[in-house]
């Protein structure tokens, strides 16, 4: 029986992953900001075959609460097999440009809170000498585009942190997977003018994530064609790139 900790458990991608794991009779420790949605998610997973679904309400921007949450999870499970870190927001770039307080809050939600959690989590996973940490970053972190560079900067920080953490924990039999989704049809992206040919469902991404965890993939672009797209974007010379509306 897999014992799985999910941070941001009510997000669309996290829920889709959890539903797949529930069919394998996994046990869950679900963390999120909304206690009512957490309870609904837990009940849904139990109905789908989960062995257990514990919940804890935490705002991940309250860094002081991270350790108590992890302590409760590891006390409940003893050993945690998989951690999925899926919390975050999609900031309004223009609003962040006009409001420094908002910009820092969004950077904290998408970057600092993830890094703070990973620091504590890494020590626990290193001590147990097993398990996988899967972290949802984004293709937006591969290059700073004018349309979302605040979000991209936060995700770039997460991806770089994960790269170093992966090398550290490799020597302790713990795997770190960096997940870089492209456009996904979730509540966060509703109303955005996205090219529909490039948009996929949370269920599509979830299947890719579970397969990548099984294969111990280092970095997952999902769908896979985003690797090619971002490779091209990264190769565009700066003197051209800065003139583009991306």
Query: Which tens digit of pLDDT belongs to each residue from 197-220?
Result: 888 999 999 999 999 999 999 999
3-state helix, strand, coil in the chain (%, to 5): 55, 15, 30
pLDDT at 133: 98
Tell me: pLDDT of 137 over 80.
yes
Beta-carbon contacts of 57 under 8 Å, excluding residues fewer than 6 positions away, are 31, 32, 33, 34, 35, 38
Give the DSSP H/E element, type plus range, for residue 219. Answer: strand 219-222
Question: CA distances (Å), 111 to each of 28, 49, 105, 180, 184, in order?
Answer: 24, 33, 10, 14, 20
Tell me: pLDDT of 64 over 80.
yes
Tell me: pLDDT of 192 over 80.
no
Q: At what angle do helices 66-77 and 113-128 cross, to 10 degrees?
A: 30
**pTM of the entire predicted model:** 0.96
pLDDT at 195: 78
3-241, which class in CATH?
alpha beta
Q: Where do the DSSP E strands lie in 63-103? A: 82-85
Over residues 220-233, mean pLDDT: 97
């Amino acid at each position: 029986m897999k014992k799985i900790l999910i941070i941001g458990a009510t997000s669309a991608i996290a829920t889709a992953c959890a539903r797949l794991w529930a069919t394998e009779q996994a046990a869950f420790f679900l963390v999120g900001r909304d206690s009512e949605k957490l309870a609904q998610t837990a009940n849904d997973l139990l109905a789908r075959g989960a062995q257990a679904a514990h919940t804890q309400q935490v705002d991940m921007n309250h860094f002081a609460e991270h350790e108590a949450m992890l302590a409760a999870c590891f006390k409940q499970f003893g050993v945690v097999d998989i951690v999925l870190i899926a919390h975050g927001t999609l900031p309004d770039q223009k609003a962040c440009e006009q409001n420094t307080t908002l910009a820092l809050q969004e950077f904290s939600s998408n970057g600092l809170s993830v890094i703070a959690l990973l620091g504590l989590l890494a020590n626990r996973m290193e001590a147990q000498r097993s398990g996988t940490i899967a972290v949802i970053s984004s293709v937006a972190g591969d290059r700073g585009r004018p349309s979302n560079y605040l979000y991209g900067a936060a995700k770039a920080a997460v991806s770089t942190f994960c790269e170093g953490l992966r090398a550290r924990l490799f020597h302790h039999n713990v795997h770190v997977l960096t997940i870089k989704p492209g456009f996904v049809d979730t509540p966060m992206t509703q109303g955005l003018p996205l090219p529909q040919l490039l948009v996929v469902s949370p269920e599509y991404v979830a299947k890719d994530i579970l397969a990548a965890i099984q294969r111990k993939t280092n970095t997952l672009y999902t769908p896979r064609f985003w690797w090619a797209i971002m490779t091209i974007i990264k190769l565009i010379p700066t003197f051209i790139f800065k003139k583009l509306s991306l």
